[in-house]
Amino acid sequence: MISIEDMKVLDGYEHTFKTAIENGYCRNFGSSQYRELNNVYEHLTGNRYRADMGCPHCVLRFIKELGRLYFEAKAQMQPEPKPVNNSESNDKPIIKKVKATNKNIKSKK
């Protein structure tokens, strides 16, 4: 289970995860950001991600894996939508029809 602190860290990278998973692309980070993300990854899996963070392919694999874990955890944290009760009645409202006739018009004399 992912902690709230880890989720807060990963929320800032949601767009990056989405881009990496859907488009196969991610921008380069600084070493402090990689360390931060690797610490979160270690909390989630129990292992550090061992790869060369200078290798674009290794970084993309790391971001995709962490993004997959993030989106799975986010889906589990969101409550299931409640069913909507339809409170509308099936009865039609009674509408009084008014017919236009000459009897209703009074002339002035």
Domain ranges of the chain: 4-77
pLDDT (0 to 100) of residue 67: 93
pLDDT in tens, 75-89: 888 766 666 666 666
Residues of the chain scoring pLDDT < 70: 1, 79-93, 100, 102-109
Q: What span, in angstroms and rounded, lies between the C-alpha atoms of 107 and 55?
A: 94
Tell me the whole-structure pTM to 2 decimals.
Answer: 0.67
pLDDT, position 84:
64
Measured CA to CA, the distance from residue 6 to residue 84 in angstroms comes to 33
Q: Look at residue 90 in the predicted model and tell me its pLDDT.
A: 66
Confidence at residue 98, expressed as pLDDT on a 0 to 100 scale: 72
